[in-house]
């Protein structure tokens, strides 16, 4: 489903990703953990082309991201084609990024109507259904400013799902939430995983990772240090950097 | 009231008594003085106007003559059209200024530099006399005409005021676009929107909240700027007033007539501005806690409600 080969990213002199190679199968849930500054969010943003890679390649399905191969070279795609490549990939941000001038339902139907050209009635029907699925059926007409952080993040998840994605990316979805609101968002994500959605989650919630993920990736300093099942990486880490990180987090 | 003897004075109130003593607000004597001074000054001004060689009957009479009303209409038409041109150009050049393409950025920079850097009256003269440089205006198959015939006072004023306004507005719009959080653009891209869709549906509507108050100001100043067009023979209200006083010598009376109409138009615009601003602040205040402003209440009493 996703295949990344030797992905590099630099911001000026700062070499943020130093060759990431990963694979995610359909219906897999991969959790990426690691200290801040390790490049986990940047890697996620490369998958949705919010950042362009400097070297290496990423495929979503059969689609090579950002470039096409012609006469033995990689040619950069137009903005329009990149926008099209983003459609099957949903993204949920740390700071929600709901559109503040639209109600919850308007946030959700914006993409289906404007990008997928669905009819407004159809989009609204499915939008309401999605709001019900994230437990906010009564908040269709509410503006983001009137919702709690947890509610906003659940609307953001519904907004991403409205595009019928094949893959969902979560960039520290609970890090900006008050502790008592984390559970409701993780609950929605757990249901989503159980429904067979392919997910890549950058998170500090090790309990969630242990329970829901079937693959854990530990990143540090722009590299993948260790990968494996939750039991391997979280319970019996082999690398000493993983061990140090886990003991610091669990302390 | 219980009093207690103390070493520091003859008597001291208990603290619990002090907590509930009657309160007296501070007196603002300066305000009374200022109010009296302002009233006195106003009275002097009013009395000098009242006793001056002004025939108020003439003012009243010319307030609604056809030439003046026609001038008022032309002022409004020019202000609205020039502002429309200004806002369209402003948005266009603001977007160009923020483009990734260095050529469009350069063009936008040049535009703002030229039209903000020269006096508006001078620009009006330049447009009006454009025929001296381009005697003929030709769009093959569409238009072929002498520039003198095309560049009427109306067209010259519209171009001069609108294009110059666009240069100022583009800076206002750019500030507004920059004020929208980068996360909004990313969220829009993440649902597959193109650049144009992102700008039109997500970024511009949010920028509007920041852009509108200064645009409202500029609209109001545009109403007054149209008076410059009288210099190139555009028949706006000041030009009409001048034409009349050249004939009948009632200079002050007719200038008062023009003053009256400018104030009326600007007042109506200010009310409209506050209604439009309210519309674009959606989602920024919970609807329940917004108190309707006085203007809104007045309008809804007379209008829809």
Q: Which residue, chain included where needed, has tokens 């209440």?
A: B297
Count of other CB atoms within 10 angstroms of residue A110: 24
B193, A111: Cβ pair inside 8 Å? yes
Number of H helices, E strands in chain A: 9, 12
Q: Does A78 touch chain B (CB under 8 A)?
A: no
Rounded to the nearest 10 degrees, the angle between the axes of helix A179-194 and helix A149-161 is 20
Contact status, residue A112 vs residue A123, Cβ threshold 8 Å: yes
Quote the pLDDT of residue B5: 52
Q: Does A81 touch chain B (CB under 8 A)?
A: no
Q: Which residues pair with residue B145 across a beta bridge?
A: B137
Distance CA B98, CA B109 (A): 10
> What pLDDT tens digit does each residue of chain A (251 aa) get?
899 999 999 999 999 999 999 999 999 999 999 999 899 999 999 999 999 999 999 999 999 999 999 999 999 999 999 999 999 999 999 999 999 999 999 999 999 999 999 999 999 999 999 999 999 999 999 999 999 999 999 999 999 999 999 999 999 999 999 999 999 999 999 999 999 999 999 999 999 999 999 999 999 999 999 999 999 999 999 999 999 999 998 87
All residues of chain B having their beta carbon less than 8 Å from the beta carbon of residue A79 are 194-195
Q: Which of 125-154 (A) contact B at CB < 8 A? A: 143-146
Question: What are the pLDDT digits (tens) for B154-205?
Answer: 999 999 999 999 999 999 999 999 999 999 999 999 999 999 999 999 999 9
Quote the pLDDT of residue B286: 45
Q: Does A83 touch chain B (CB under 8 A)?
A: yes
DSSP one-letter string for chain B: --EEEETTEEEEE-HHHHHTSPP-PPP-HHHHHHHHHHHHHHHHHHHHHHHSS--HHHHHHHHT-HHHHHHHHHHHHHHHHHHHHHHHHHHHHHHHHT-S-HHHHHHHHHHHHHHHHS-HHHHHHHHHTGGGT-SEEEETTTEEEEHHHH--HHHHHHHHHHHHHHHHHHHHHHHHHHHS-HHHHHHHHHTT--HHHIIIIIIHHHHHHHHHHHHHHHHHHHHHHGGGGGGGT---HHHHHHHHHHHH--HHHHHHHHHHHHHHHHHHHHHHHHHHHHHHTTTTS-GGGPPPPHHHHHHHHHTT-
Q: What is the ipTM of this complex?
A: 0.92
All residues of chain A having their beta carbon less than 8 Å from the beta carbon of residue B186 are 50, 93, 97
Task: State the pTM of this model.
Answer: 0.79
Topology classification of domain B58-283: MetI-like fold (1.10.3720)
Q: Does B101 touch chain A (CB under 8 A)?
A: no
Average pLDDT over residues B225-247: 93
Contact status, residue A94 vs residue A175, Cβ threshold 8 Å: yes
Q: Which candidate from A50, A79, A91 shows the least CB-CB separation from B194? A: A79
- Which residue, among B179, B191, B207, B208, would best test binding to A if mutated, counting the most A CBs under 10 Å from its CB? B191
Quote the pLDDT of residue A176: 92
Q: Which candidate from A90, A114, A146 shows the least CB-CB separation from B193? A: A114
Between chain A and chain B, how many beta carbons pairs sit less than 8 Å apart? 80
Q: Which candidate from A83, A146, A160 shows the least CB-CB separation from B189? A: A83
Cα–chain center distance at B18: 53
Report whether pLDDT(B287) > 80.
no
Quote the pLDDT of residue A151: 96
Token reading at B94: 């603001």
Q: Which candidate from A95, A114, A145 shows the least CB-CB separation from B283? A: A145
Q: Which of 203-232 (B) contact A at CB < 8 A? A: 205-206
Q: Does B200 touch chain A (CB under 8 A)?
A: no
Count of other CB atoms within 10 angstroms of residue A195: 9
Q: Which candidate from A84, A101, A159 shows the least CB-CB separation from B191? A: A159
Q: Does B183 touch chain A (CB under 8 A)?
A: yes
Distance CA B276, CA B280 (A): 7
DSSP letter for A71, please. Answer: T
Quote the pLDDT of residue B288: 41
Burial B18-42 (b: 16+ CB within 10 A, else e): eeeeeeeeeeeeeeeeeeeeeeeee
All residues of chain A having their beta carbon less than 8 Å from the beta carbon of residue B194 are 79-80, 83
Distance CA A168, CA A96 (A): 14
Contact status, residue A83 vs residue B192, Cβ threshold 8 Å: yes
Quote the pLDDT of residue B298: 52
Contact status, residue A15 vs residue B151, Cβ threshold 8 Å: no
How far does the CA of residue A79 sit from the closest CA of chain B (Å)? 7
Q: Name the percent of chain B lying above pLDDT 70.
A: 88
Quote the pLDDT of residue B297: 52
Quote the pLDDT of residue B147: 83
Contact status, residue A160 vs residue A168, Cβ threshold 8 Å: yes
Quote the pLDDT of residue B54: 81
Residue B291 banded pLDDT, cuts 50, 70, 90: very low
Contact status, residue A105 vs residue A134, Cβ threshold 8 Å: no
How far does the CA of residue B258 sit from the closest CA of chain A (Å)? 41
Residue B151 banded pLDDT, cuts 50, 70, 90: confident
């Amino acid at each position: 489903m996703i295949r990344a080969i030797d992905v590099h990213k630099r911001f000026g002199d700062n070499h943020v990703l130093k060759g990431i190679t990963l694979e995610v199968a359909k219906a897999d849930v991969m959790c990426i953990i690691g200290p801040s500054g390790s490049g986990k969010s940047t890697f996620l943003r490369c998958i949705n082309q919010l950042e362009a890679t400097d070297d290496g390649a990423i495929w979503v399905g059969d689609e090579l991201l950002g470039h096409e191969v012609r006469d033995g070279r990689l040619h950069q795609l137009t903005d329009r084609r990149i926008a099209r490549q983003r459609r099957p990939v949903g993204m949920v941000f740390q700071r929600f990024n709901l559109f503040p001038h639209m109600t919850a339902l308007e946030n959700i139907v914006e993409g289906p109507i404007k990008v997928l050209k669905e009819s407004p009635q159809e989009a609204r029907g499915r939008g309401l259904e999605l709001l019900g699925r994230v437990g906010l059926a009564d908040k269709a007409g509410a503006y983001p400013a009137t919702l709690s952080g947890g509610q906003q993040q659940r609307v953001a998840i519904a907004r991403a799902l409205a595009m019928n994605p094949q893959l969902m990316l979560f960039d520290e979805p609970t890090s900006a939430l008050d502790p008592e609101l984390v559970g409701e968002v993780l609950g929605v994500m757990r249901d989503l995983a159980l429904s067979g959605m392919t997910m890549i989650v950058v998170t500090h919630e090790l309990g969630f990772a242990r329970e829901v993920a079937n693959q854990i990736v530990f990143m540090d300093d722009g590299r993948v240090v260790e990968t494996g099942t939750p039991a391997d990486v979280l319970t019996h880490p082999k690398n000493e950097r993983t061990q140090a990180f886990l003991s610091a987090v669990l302390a | 009231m219980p009093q207690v003897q103390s070493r520091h004075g003859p008597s001291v109130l208990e603290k619990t008594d002090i907590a509930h003593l009657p309160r007296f607000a501070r007196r603002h004597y300066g305000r009374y003085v200022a109010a009296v001074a302002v009233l006195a000054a106003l009275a002097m001004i009013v009395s000098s106007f009242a006793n001056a060689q002004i025939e108020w009957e003439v003012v009243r009479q010319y307030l609604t003559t056809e030439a003046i009303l026609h001038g008022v209409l032309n002022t409004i038409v020019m202000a609205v059209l020039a502002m429309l041109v200004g806002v369209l150009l402003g948005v266009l050049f603001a977007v160009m200024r923020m483009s990734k393409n260095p050529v469009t950025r350069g063009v936008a920079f040049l535009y703002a530099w030229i039209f903000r850097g020269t006096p508006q009256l001078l620009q009006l003269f330049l447009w009006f006399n454009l025929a001296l440089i381009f005697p003929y205006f030709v769009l093959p198959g569409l238009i072929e005409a002498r520039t003198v015939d095309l560049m009427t006072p109306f067209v010259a004023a519209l171009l001069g005021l609108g294009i110059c306004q666009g240069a100022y507005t583009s800076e206002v719009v750019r500030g507004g676009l920059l004020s929208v959080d980068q996360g909004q653009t990313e969220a829009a891209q993440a649902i597959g929107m193109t650049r144009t869709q992102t700008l039109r549906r997500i970024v511009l509507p949010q920028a509007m909240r920041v852009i509108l108050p200064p645009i409202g100001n500029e609209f109001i100043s545009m109403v007054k700027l149209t008076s410059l067009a009288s210099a190139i023979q555009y028949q706006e209200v000041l030009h009409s007033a001048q034409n009349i006083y050249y004939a009948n010598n009632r200079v002050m009376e007719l200038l008062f007539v023009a003053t009256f109409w400018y104030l009326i138009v600007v007042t109506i615009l200010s009310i409209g501005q506050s209604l439009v601003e309210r519309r674009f602040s959606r989602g920024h205040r919970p609807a329940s806690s917004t108190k309707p402003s006085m203007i809104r209440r007045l309008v809804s009493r007379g209008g829809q409600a």
